[in-house]
Chain A
Amino acid sequence: VDIPWVVKPEEKLKFDSIFDSLGPVGGILTGDKVKPVLLNSKLPVDILGRVWELSDLDRDGMLDRDEFSVAMYLVYRALEGEPVPMSLPPPLVPPSKR
């Protein structure tokens, strides 16, 4: 599938720097490291739960760099008033996971 990722390169840089600041181990952040960051958005927990469901693509309870970018993208869009989708639209799936 040849669709550009909706996470723009400049946004990815920003998300990557947040990711790195959280102290990933082996390129992966555990749920307990990501959770406070998402809670910090002040979005309702049920929304954040859905954001997690959509971004933890391999369902391992942890987020790698690309999964984290999906989570942050959804949080920022939600803060702008856009609804969080029930399932991940293809343009939001990181190219590395297709």
Chain B
Amino acid sequence: QYPAGGSSTNPFL
């Protein structure tokens, strides 16, 4: 669901 690395693992960004 989320790409590895990067801040897109943060649901608030």
Q: Which A residues fall within an 8 A CB radius of B?
A: 31-32, 34-35, 38, 45-46, 48-49, 52-53, 56, 59-61
Contacts and interface: CB of A to CB of B under 8 A. Distances in A.
Contacts of A59: 5, 9
A45 B12 contact: yes
Interface of B: 1-2, 5, 7-13
Contacts, number: 31
What does DSSP make chain A's interface, helix, strand, loop or mixed? helix
A31 B9 contact: yes
B1 to A, nearest CB: 7
B12 A56 contact: no
A48 B9 contact: no
